[in-house]
């Protein structure tokens, strides 16, 4: 039966490769991926998937489903297709989207016999304001049995962890005045921002090494001879677990409040991007995928790499068994979020990555549908964790 999966993928791999290159040639930023969405959903529709676009209030999000009409697990493949400003597909989302669509179509060709259903979810704006967050909040994953996504990288790595993250803005309001003639009449909003940075730097001494806090001043005044009456800073705050991140965020907010009191400003706190939870890899699902990838790719599969980044797949992993492994582009040391990375996605190595990745995802879905013990192990682990 798995040979049939390989044969089915061969029938669509040129379509997938064409879409991958079109996305590379015409990269679109998060929540603007209209053409990319159209390319992916058109191919899915051609293969009899029912399509719903604009889900969870995101115009470029979609849900494509193919059901056998027979009982069985529901397998979800997640597609990303947003690019980076000035770089293009330097994170390889042109491959992510096509691998997931390829896996979904390939698996759909056999489920009439084995049962179950296949869902491909188009998840915009992973780089900025990930659509997986509202999908999670609005119950899109509630009836899914597993969720999988495969990310290109320099080399292949098993699915690991990511940091939970909050993106928080601190806006201080003061009072403008002539900085030389009447400074005593002003209230310096920038002073509060500076004290916030100082306070956070003092806090670092008392935080574990997995915590990351990094920020910028987006507004700090217009002229040196005017007391700034408005100043804004934005921070990413990250930690290994959501529970501890919440504690750190509370400490940072207290520092921000103190900084306002020190300068006499007023403070407004808000989230400028959606919050991401930490990624919890389902090990049983991960092992099943790794076995399939080893059969479809000649590249070594390394242990999970330590990650200090944050992904909206983390939110998905809180509600459904999930994995986020990496597949190699056969270029060790290649750095993501660069033009060199984007260029590698459309080489011969990129083509091999697309084929082996899509087939490994499809094969894993096949194993879950046909092996009740595997599905039970996946669900038991999820419930325990």
* 148 and 194 share one domain: no
Query: What tokens were used for 326?
Result: 């990496």
**One domain for residues 21 and 53:** yes
Mean pLDDT of the region 106-134 = 96
Total domains in the chain come to: 2
pLDDT of residue 223: 96
How would you list the strands of the sheet with 74-79, edge to edge? 50-53, 62-67, 117-122, 74-79, 146-148, 322-323
CA–CA dist 375, 279 (Å, integer): 20
Residue 45 has pLDDT above 80, yes or no: yes
Confidence check: pLDDT of 141 > 80 = yes
Domain hosting residue 364, numbered range: 2-161+277-384
pLDDT tens for each residue of 332-373: 999 999 999 999 999 999 999 999 999 999 999 999 999 999
DSSP 200-260: HHHHGGGS-TT-EEEEEEEE--S-TTB--SEEEEEEEEEESSHHHHHHHHHHHHHHHHHHH
In this prediction, residue 307 carries a pLDDT of 80
Mark which of 247, 271, 295 sits at the end of a domain.
271
Whether the pLDDT of residue 226 is over 80: the answer is yes
Q: End of a domain among 271, 297, 313?
A: 271
Query: Which of 206, 237, 271 represents a domain boundary (last residue)?
Result: 271
Q: What was the pLDDT predicted at 309?
A: 86
Q: What's the chain's length in residues?
A: 385
Q: Which of 112, 118, 129, 100 is nearest to 40 (CA)?
A: 100
| Mean per-residue pLDDT over the chain, rounded | 97
Q: Which CATH number is 213's domain given?
A: 3.30.70.360
Q: Is 276 helix (H, G, I), strand (E, B) or coil?
A: strand
Q: What percent of the chain has pLDDT over 90?
A: 97
Q: Is 328's pLDDT higher than 90?
A: yes
Query: Does the pLDDT value for residue 385 go beyond 90?
Result: no
Mean pLDDT value of segment 296-305: 94
Measuring CA to CA, which residue among 207, 237, 231, 227 is closest to residue 218? 231
pLDDT at 1 over 90: no
- 174 shares its domain with 134: no
- pLDDT at residue number 266: 98
Q: What is the mean pLDDT of residues 73-81?
A: 98
């Amino acid at each position: 039966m798995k040979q049939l999966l390989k044969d089915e993928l061969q029938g669509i791999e040129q379509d997938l490769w064409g879409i991958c290159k079109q996305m590379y040639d015409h990269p679109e930023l998060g929540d603007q991926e209209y053409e990319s969405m159209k390319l992916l959903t058109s191919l899915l529709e051609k293969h009899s998937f029912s399509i719903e676009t604009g889900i969870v209030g995101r115009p470029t999000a979609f849900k494509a489903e193919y059901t056998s009409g027979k009982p069985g697990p529901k397998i979800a493949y997640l597609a990303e297709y947003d690019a980076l400003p000035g770089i293009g597909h330097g994170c390889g989302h042109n491959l992510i989207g096509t691998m997931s669509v390829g896996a979904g179509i390939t698996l759909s060709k056999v489920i009439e016999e084995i049962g179950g259903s296949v869902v491909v979810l188009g998840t915009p704006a992973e780089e900025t304001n990930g659509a997986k967050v509202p999908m999670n909040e609005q119950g899109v994953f509630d009836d899914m049995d597993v969720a999988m996504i495969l990310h290109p990288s320099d080399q292949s790595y098993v699915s690991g962890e990511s940091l939970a993250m909050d993106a928080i803005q601190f806006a201080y309001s003061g009072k403008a005045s002539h900085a030389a003639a009447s400074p005593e009449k002003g209230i310096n909003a920038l002073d509060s921002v500076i004290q916030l940075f100082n306070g956070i730097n003092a806090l670092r001494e008392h935080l574990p090494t997995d915590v990351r806090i990094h920020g910028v001043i987006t507004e700090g005044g217009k002229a040196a001879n005017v007391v700034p009456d408005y100043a804004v800073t934005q921070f990413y705050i990250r930690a290994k677990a959501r529970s501890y991140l919440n504690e750190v965020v509370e400490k940072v907010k207290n520092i921000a409040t103190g900084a306002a009191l020190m300068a006499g400003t007023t403070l407004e706190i808000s989230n400028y991007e959606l919050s991401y939870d930490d990624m919890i890899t389902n090990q049983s699902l991960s092992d099943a995928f790794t076995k399939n990838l080893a059969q479809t790719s000649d590249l070594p599969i390394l242990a999970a790499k330590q990650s200090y980044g944050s992904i909206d797949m983390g939110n998905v992993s809180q509600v459904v068994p999930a994995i986020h492994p990496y597949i190699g582009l056969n270029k060790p040391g290649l750095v993501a979020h660069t033009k060199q990375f984007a260029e590698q996605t459309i080489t011969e190595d990129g083509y091999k990555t697309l084929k082996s990745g899509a087939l490994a995802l499809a094969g894993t879905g096949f194993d879950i549908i046909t092996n009740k013990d595997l599905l039970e192990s996946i669900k038991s682990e999820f419930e325990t964790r």
